[in-house]
Amino acid sequence: MEYNIVHQPEQHLFRTEVDGRTGFVEYRLINGYLDITHTIVPRPIEGRGIAADLVKAAFDYARANGLKPKGTCSYAAIWLERHPEYEEK
């Protein structure tokens, strides 16, 4: 399923709303990296791939803007391990 993911650069987050609940990733920009610091998906909407889509959207944005992806958040770090195509070349 595709989710309507909205980037809010002034708040440093990507968010989506599903069934009236908001899932989001927060990030910081530091030394040429987009570092995801938090991935939050409320329990009632877990297990639908929302976190993965949010992290992917953030890292796609990073790549498109010359930033390197980084995951301080454990979910984002594991996502990067599972998607080696996002690793630095």
Q: Where are the domains of the chain?
A: 46-89
| pLDDT for position 49 | 97
Q: For residues 73 and 55, what is the distance between their CA atoms, to the nearest angstrom? A: 10
Phi, psi angles (nearest 5°) of residue 76: -65, -35
Find the DSSP H helices in the chain.
50-64, 74-82
- pTM for the structure as a whole: 0.94
Please report, in tens digits, the pLDDT of each residue of the chain (89 residues total).
789 999 999 999 999 999 999 999 999 999 999 999 999 999 999 999 999 999 999 999 999 999 999 999 999 999 999 999 998 65
